[in-house]
Amino acid sequence: MTPMRLILLLALISLPGWALAETSVWPTKRSSDTEWGEDLFNKHCWQCHGRQAEGDGPAAEALQVPVPSLRGVSTDATRSDLVTTARQGQGPMPGYHESISRQDMRRVFLYVESLDKPQTKPTDDPDDEPEGPTEEGNAPEGEGNAPEADAEGGE
Ligand code: HEC
């Protein structure tokens, strides 16, 4: 095998690696309790309670007991009790006391509560609105910019 072929082969082999790195699904940072809670909810709870916590997950049909919607039930006043319930388990719902700490379960409910609120996504991205002139096509224009015109000399 020639060195050139070897290089091409190596480039091919490493290609999928780059592609994967580009489309990585994991967020680079966890900025809030709500996001952490969202991850936990989407791992443990949505199958029964539904993606939007409305009690309509795909596993709900298989259960004898109706799965309650979690929308609107969690508030500052009730959150602590709900955390206890979810960690203890209830009816067909398994208890999560071993897999989810109280602190993390609280985050799950903070996420569920956030579903009830109007979405307020922070728009602190400075790249949102590019400003200033673009590089091309904006050269200053004007009359009198043609140097060939006055080659004859003046009066
Ligand atoms: C296997 C399906 C299933 C999964 C998974 C599941 N639940 Fe449930 N959940 C239920 C069912 C069914 C009930 C109603 C139990 C009953 O009425 O006896 C319930 C009840 C609850 C309640 C009580 C609601 C109320 O108003 O009293 C809370 C809170 C709750 N679930 C939270 C969660 C959280 C948080 C998770 C994930 C960590 C989760 N559940 C995962 C099926 C599930």
Ligand 1 nearest atom to the CA of residue 59, by list position = 2
Q: What is the pLDDT of residues 1-10, one digit of tens each?
A: 677 776 666 6
d(CA 152, CA 131): 43
d(CA 55, CA 86): 14
- Environment class of residue 113 by beta-carbon count within 10 Å: exposed (0-12), middle (13-18) or buried (19+)? buried
* pLDDT of amino acid 22: 47
Mean pLDDT value of segment 132-144: 53
Q: What CATH class has 29-116?
A: mainly alpha
Q: Where are the domains of the chain?
A: 29-116
**Residue whose CA lies nearest to ligand 1 atom number 16:** 91
* pLDDT of amino acid 78: 98
Distance from the CA of 98 to the center of ligand 1, in angstroms? Answer: 16
CA nearest neighbour of 40 among 85, 91, 102 = 102
Distance from the CA of 92 to the center of ligand 1, in angstroms? Answer: 8
Mean pLDDT value of segment 82-103: 98
Mean pLDDT value of segment 10-34: 59
At residue 118 the predicted structure's pLDDT band, cuts being 50, 70 and 90, is confident
| Identity of the amino acid at 79 | R
Confidence (pTM): 0.68
Ligand 1 nearest atom to the CA of residue 109, by list position = 35
* pLDDT of amino acid 136: 54
